[in-house]
Structure 1
């Protein structure tokens, strides 16, 4: 009996050690980035990995302000794009998945197959056509082309459909219809609360993806007042003589911080979803 307990404790200890190691390994790149934001270019060139903060944070900030990097404009534009795209993608993808699960119609399976086929088309392949279309309707130098197309997100539709098939009982929908509930009322008041863990998970991934988007904003936006944070960071290359790496790391750090806030704000819903799935028979 004692031998079994010792083996169990040893196994738990090994699991904890592996988890701590993986956690440190995940945090390490971000820690180095934050520390380099406080160091000078000379210190970074001498030793690119710094584990303790230095004293050049203010000077890096002054260098950053002297460039095309405007953190307020970039933050507002990126927040508008990421928040708008996330809300559109999560809501309409959930609505599409609900239609694929709760309704029985003739073209349901071909429609789902078409959605899956769209997932196979890379964004770069349709980039030229997308730009030409946005140019013809006058949407270049606008944030709308970065928000509205997010309404159609095939990968999220697939994820939401699989989640609903495992967690939604159609008897609930039938009961709501018998009680006189309209379809959109049923979806908004009954189905969406059931999908909250899945929506929170996809909201994190979608927000991070849209926050880090560079290809589409780079080909659509030429006005500095419309630049997002990734575009501004990509322009932090300095002049032809010298690149201020400390300022670059500071810009990168400012770009990453909102992602941490969004993740920690929604992570509890992901944990709740995992616990719900573990208890579900």
Structure 2
């Protein structure tokens, strides 16, 4: 009996170890099942989100009669006809060019000057700093449509109606972009880097361009997406300040297209919408990739 006790203990330990290993292997398999379920859900969600864009692109190539019969995955053969019908009423490429010029200038200028303003609010001390920042926060809560009449009168007195100036210059001052960039740079840029640059003899603008801007680029790229989309989709202000048809932006032209005889041709309407949406998708894909690369690269390395 004394000799069997160690053997029984060994057998018990072996059974416990095998049971523990079996339980461990089961637990290891569970996360993989959860991952498969999550990935399956995300793929289905991506497909559901992509279906409206696919319908838009396919219907842009189909005739009005084919669209009314129902949706199908295969494209039609009426793309050229729909394009000619649309171009007989509006010059969509002129509106595309105008919207692209305005949106690119607004995005670049707003990103740069908002970053400069945010940098000043974050790292400089001057009289009235807190008052100006609070005033900027209050302006974020005021809808822009409330000042549309006053903005029109001001543009009229300055003689800048029917130009791109009222669409570009006021959009440069964006309180929300300044607020977002200020909060971002305060958490990513340590003041010691600025002091070290000053000790090395760098000027204030050189510090801003060589130290602050690279660190702020992920936030600037993020805000650039929303700035570009907002400027591209802007409809009310161009409709108020622009009078010449050759200066109309794409949303204004699409509004006129909706009220014309082209609205009876659904294929032409889908084609015009597709042309107006594609730049937004391209800009988002490009800038979102840049954001991921910038964040993964890191801003400050110790």
Q: TM-score range by the shorter chain?
A: over 0.9
In structure 2, which of residues 290, 293, 300 is the aligned counterpart of residue 269 of structure 1? 290
What stretches of structure 1 of length at least 5 have no aligned partner?
Answer: none
Alignment of 1:61-72 (within 5 A): 61-68=83-90, 70-72=91-93
Deviations 1:128-164 (A, max 9, x none): 1111111111111111111101111011111101110
Q: What TM-score does the superposition give when structure 1 sets the normalisation length? A: 0.93
Name the residue aligned to 2:60.
Answer: 37
| Structure of greater Rg | 2
Tell me which moved more, 230-239 or 77-86: 230-239
- Describe the SS at the equivalent of 1:235: helix
Asked if 2 retains the 8 angstrom alpha-carbon contact of 1:134 and 1:145, the reply is: yes
Q: Are 2:265 and 1:227 equivalent residues in the alignment?
A: no
In structure 2, which of residues 94, 108, 112 is the aligned counterpart of residue 91 of structure 1? 112
Alignment partners' CA distance in 2, 1:197 and 1:71: 33
Give 1:71 shift: 2.6
Name the residue aligned to 1:176.
Answer: 197
Name segments (4+ residues, structure 1) moved above 3 Å: 238-242, 273-281
Alignment partners' CA distance in 1, 2:262 and 2:186: 59
Residue 244 to residue 276, structure 1, CA distance change in 2 (3 Å): same
Q: Are 2:132 and 1:111 equivalent residues in the alignment?
A: yes
Tell me which moved more, 28-37 or 238-247: 238-247
Q: Are 2:265 and 1:244 equivalent residues in the alignment?
A: yes
Name the residue aligned to 2:81.
Answer: 59
Give 1:240 shift: 5.9
Normalized per residue, the structure richer in helix is 2
Tell me which moved more, 100-109 or 199-208: 100-109
Give 1:106 shift: 3.9
Asked if 1 retains the 8 angstrom alpha-carbon contact of 2:262 and 2:269, the reply is: no
Count matched residues: 279
Give 1:265 shift: 2.2
Asked if 2 retains the 8 angstrom alpha-carbon contact of 1:97 and 1:158, the reply is: yes
Report the aligned-residue RMSD: 2.1
Q: What TM-score does the superposition give when structure 2 sets the normalisation length? A: 0.87
Name the residue aligned to 2:166.
Answer: 145
